[in-house]
Protein backbone atom coordinates (compact mmCIF):
# COMPACT_ATOMS: atom_id res chain seq x y z
CA UNK A 1 0.00 0.00 0.00
CA UNK A 2 1.31 3.46 -0.86
CA UNK A 3 0.34 6.50 1.16
CA UNK A 4 0.71 9.65 -0.91
CA UNK A 5 -0.30 12.51 1.39
CA UNK A 6 1.10 15.38 -0.63
CA UNK A 7 -0.84 16.68 -3.64
CA UNK A 8 1.87 18.74 -5.31
CA UNK A 9 5.04 20.74 -4.86
CA UNK A 10 4.58 24.33 -6.06
CA UNK A 11 8.02 25.78 -5.40
CA UNK A 12 11.46 24.32 -4.84
CA UNK A 13 14.97 25.63 -4.23
CA UNK A 14 17.66 22.97 -4.10
CA UNK A 15 19.08 22.35 -0.63
CA UNK A 16 17.01 25.20 0.85
CA UNK A 17 13.21 24.86 0.77
CA UNK A 18 10.10 23.45 -0.86
CA UNK A 19 6.48 24.59 -0.75
CA UNK A 20 3.68 22.08 -1.27
CA UNK A 21 -0.08 21.61 -1.00
CA UNK A 22 -2.27 19.00 0.65
CA UNK A 23 -6.03 19.33 0.12
CA UNK A 24 -8.25 17.77 2.76
CA UNK A 25 -11.46 16.16 1.47
CA UNK A 26 -14.40 14.79 3.43
CA UNK A 27 -14.13 11.68 1.25
CA UNK A 28 -10.76 10.79 2.85
CA UNK A 29 -11.05 7.43 4.61
CA UNK A 30 -9.63 8.98 7.79
CA UNK A 31 -12.91 10.76 8.51
CA UNK A 32 -14.99 7.60 8.86
CA UNK A 33 -14.06 7.35 12.55
CA UNK A 34 -12.12 10.58 13.17
CA UNK A 35 -14.56 11.93 14.29
CA UNK A 36 -18.19 11.32 13.23
CA UNK A 37 -20.08 14.60 13.23
CA UNK A 38 -16.87 16.54 13.96
CA UNK A 39 -14.34 15.58 11.24
CA UNK A 40 -10.72 16.39 12.10
CA UNK A 41 -7.78 15.30 9.96
CA UNK A 42 -5.54 13.03 12.06
CA UNK A 43 -2.31 14.54 13.35
CA UNK A 44 -0.34 11.45 12.33
CA UNK A 45 -1.38 12.03 8.71
CA UNK A 46 -0.40 15.70 8.96
CA UNK A 47 3.03 14.63 10.17
CA UNK A 48 3.30 12.16 7.29
CA UNK A 49 2.40 14.92 4.79
CA UNK A 50 5.09 17.15 6.27
CA UNK A 51 7.61 14.31 6.27
CA UNK A 52 6.85 13.51 2.63
CA UNK A 53 7.52 17.13 1.60
CA UNK A 54 10.77 17.23 3.58
CA UNK A 55 11.89 13.90 2.13
CA UNK A 56 11.08 15.04 -1.41
CA UNK A 57 13.04 18.26 -0.85
CA UNK A 58 16.09 16.31 0.28
CA UNK A 59 15.88 13.65 -2.42
CA UNK A 60 15.50 16.26 -5.16
CA UNK A 61 18.44 18.19 -3.69
CA UNK A 62 20.74 15.17 -3.41
CA UNK A 63 20.36 13.84 -6.97
CA UNK A 64 23.30 15.74 -8.44
CA UNK A 65 26.67 14.04 -8.38
CA UNK A 66 25.35 10.65 -7.29
CA UNK A 67 24.50 7.59 -9.36
CA UNK A 68 21.18 7.35 -7.51
CA UNK A 69 19.32 9.69 -5.23
CA UNK A 70 19.36 8.34 -1.68
CA UNK A 71 16.02 7.50 -0.09
CA UNK A 72 15.12 9.53 2.96
CA UNK A 73 13.96 7.47 5.91
CA UNK A 74 12.17 9.19 8.78
CA UNK A 75 13.98 8.69 12.10
CA UNK A 76 12.60 11.43 14.32
CA UNK A 77 9.81 13.99 14.64
CA UNK A 78 9.23 16.78 17.10
CA UNK A 79 5.83 18.32 16.32
CA UNK A 80 3.44 20.88 17.68
CA UNK A 81 -0.20 21.14 16.63
CA UNK A 82 -1.78 24.58 16.77
CA UNK A 83 -5.20 24.15 15.07
CA UNK A 84 -7.32 21.44 13.45
CA UNK A 85 -7.23 20.61 9.75
CA UNK A 86 -10.74 19.94 8.50
CA UNK A 87 -12.46 18.88 5.28
CA UNK A 88 -12.26 21.62 2.67
CA UNK A 89 -8.91 22.93 3.91
CA UNK A 90 -6.14 23.47 1.37
CA UNK A 91 -3.02 23.13 3.47
CA UNK A 92 0.15 24.95 2.49
CA UNK A 93 3.29 23.21 3.68
CA UNK A 94 6.77 24.71 3.69
CA UNK A 95 9.89 22.67 4.37
CA UNK A 96 13.26 24.32 5.09
CA UNK A 97 16.55 22.43 5.37
CA UNK A 98 18.07 22.99 8.81
CA UNK A 99 21.11 20.71 8.44
CA UNK A 100 22.27 18.21 5.85
CA UNK A 101 25.23 15.87 6.23
CA UNK A 102 26.45 12.82 4.31
CA UNK A 103 24.22 10.36 6.13
CA UNK A 104 21.41 12.41 7.69
CA UNK A 105 19.46 15.67 7.57
CA UNK A 106 16.98 17.71 9.53
CA UNK A 107 14.14 19.73 8.03
CA UNK A 108 11.73 22.21 9.63
CA UNK A 109 8.19 22.05 8.22
CA UNK A 110 5.26 24.40 8.86
CA UNK A 111 1.66 23.81 7.77
CA UNK A 112 -0.87 26.61 7.38
CA UNK A 113 -4.37 27.11 6.00
CA UNK A 114 -4.77 30.73 5.01
CA UNK A 115 -3.73 32.71 8.10
CA UNK A 116 -4.26 29.74 10.46
CA UNK A 117 -1.16 27.95 11.73
CA UNK A 118 -2.01 24.25 11.75
CA UNK A 119 1.21 22.44 12.70
CA UNK A 120 4.97 22.66 12.71
CA UNK A 121 7.63 20.03 13.07
CA UNK A 122 11.33 19.31 12.99
CA UNK A 123 11.85 16.11 11.05
CA UNK A 124 15.04 14.05 11.01
CA UNK A 125 15.98 11.63 8.22
CA UNK A 126 18.78 9.20 7.47
CA UNK A 127 19.75 8.43 3.89
CA UNK A 128 19.54 4.91 2.48
CA UNK A 129 21.24 3.86 -0.72
CA UNK A 130 18.68 1.56 -2.37
CA UNK A 131 20.19 -0.37 -5.27
CA UNK A 132 16.94 -1.26 -7.06
CA UNK A 133 16.48 0.24 -10.55
CA UNK A 134 12.73 -0.41 -10.53
CA UNK A 135 12.29 1.37 -7.19
CA UNK A 136 14.54 4.24 -8.35
CA UNK A 137 12.49 4.67 -11.54
CA UNK A 138 9.23 4.63 -9.56
CA UNK A 139 10.52 7.24 -7.10
CA UNK A 140 11.84 9.45 -9.92
CA UNK A 141 8.45 9.26 -11.66
CA UNK A 142 6.63 10.23 -8.44
CA UNK A 143 8.92 13.21 -7.79
CA UNK A 144 8.51 14.39 -11.39
CA UNK A 145 4.74 14.15 -11.04
CA UNK A 146 4.72 16.07 -7.74
CA UNK A 147 6.93 18.85 -9.14
CA UNK A 148 5.20 19.21 -12.51
CA UNK A 149 4.56 22.93 -12.91
CA UNK A 150 6.64 23.84 -9.84
CA UNK A 151 8.69 27.01 -9.74
CA UNK A 152 12.31 25.89 -9.45
CA UNK A 153 14.67 28.50 -8.08
Residue at 44 is within a domain:
yes
Res 60 pLDDT > 90: yes
Tell me which residue range forms the domain holding 32: 8-152
The confidence band for 104, taking pLDDT boundaries of 50, 70 and 90, is very high
Could you list the active site residues? 34
Q: Residues of the chain with pLDDT > 70: what percent?
A: 97
Question: What's the number of domains the chain is made of?
Answer: 1
Residue 135 domain flag: yes
Residue 1 belongs to a domain: no
In a domain, 47, yes or no: yes
The answer on pLDDT for 88 being more than 50 is: yes
Domain with 18 in it: what CATH number?
Answer: 3.10.129.10
Q: How far apart are the first and last CA of the chain?
A: 33
Reported as a single tens digit per residue, the pLDDT across 65-74 is 667 778 999 9
Amino acid sequence: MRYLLLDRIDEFKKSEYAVGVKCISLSDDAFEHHFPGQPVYPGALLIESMAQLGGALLELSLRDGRPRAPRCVLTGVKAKFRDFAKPGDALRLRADVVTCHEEAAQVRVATTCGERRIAEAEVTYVFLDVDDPKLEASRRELLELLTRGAIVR
